[in-house]
Amino acid sequence: MSETFEVIAGPRSGGGKGASRRLRREGLVPGIVYGGHKDPEMISLPHNELVQHLESEAFYSSLLDLKLGDTVSKVVLKDLQRHPAKPFILHVDFQRVSMEEKLRMTVPLHFENEATAKGVKLGGKASHNVTEVEVTCLPKDLPEYIVVDMAEMEIGDTVHVSELKMPAGVELTSSVDLDAPVVMIHAGYSASDVGEEPEGDGEAGEGDSIV
């Protein structure tokens, strides 16, 4: 992982909807950090700083440095609640990690060489059915993303979940459907594929009626 994220948080003592609304009016996001064989802690984070972090795809699947006072903990982002109609973050959950214990995380797929894939160059179209998978691994092995190399894919080819190449130390969780198609290349469509209206002379013949 090439990018390092530092998340600055502060403690919060008040719980409930009223306290959370007051924090949001002050430009803060209520949150919680849990796990790591420690008690959960209620925290708050500057909304604008969190939004900037969330603009990076890597933030969702990386180890983060959560700074709370003088303490820095390794955490991962586990849950995020957004406002259904406004561009606001309502709540955020972080999980502490132990470098000796495996994590269960959702990691995005990156589709490489799609534009130059053999089937695409011949006029085929790529369809993506799976864009992320759940994996388990030690924190040191957590990948930012998993590569799907499409360079050699021909028209009619399909890559299934079971064919994904996992980085060393990374395994798919048991809940993942190994038979699910990840990406396929199908033939492009032309006018002849969907049918065309038969040509005629535009005149009604004997026995024809014009409505």
Read off the CATH number of the domain in which 58 is found: 2.40.240.10
- Tally the residues of the chain: 211
Q: Is the pTM of this model over 0.85?
A: no
pLDDT tens track for 35-87: 999 999 999 999 999 999 999 999 999 999 999 999 999 999 999 999 999 98
What's the confidence (pLDDT) of residue 189? Answer: 66
Q: Domain containing 119: what range?
A: 103-191
pLDDT tens track for 104-122: 999 999 999 999 999 999 9
Is 150 a domain residue? yes
Above pLDDT 70, what percent of the chain? 87
69-73, Cβ contacts within 8 angstroms, sequence gap of 24 or more = 69/10, 69/11, 73/33, 73/36
Total of domains in the chain: 2
Token look-up 């009223």 returns 18
Query: What is the enclosing helix (H) or strand (E) of 51?
Result: helix 47-54
Q: Are residues 109 and 184 in the same domain?
A: yes
CB 78 within 8 A of CB 134: no
Is 177 a domain residue? yes
DSSP line for 127-193 = EE---EEEEEE-GGG--S-EEEE-TTPPTT-EEEGGG--PPTT-EE-TTS-TTSEEEEEEPPP-HHH
Final residue before a domain boundary, out of 96, 116, 133: 96
Final residue before a domain boundary, out of 63, 81, 96: 96
CA distance 159 to 131: 12
Q: Are residues 116 and 47 in the same domain?
A: no
Is 200 a domain residue? no
Read off the CATH number of the domain in which 146 is found: 2.170.120.20
Token look-up 């180890």 returns 63
Final residue before a domain boundary, out of 62, 80, 96: 96
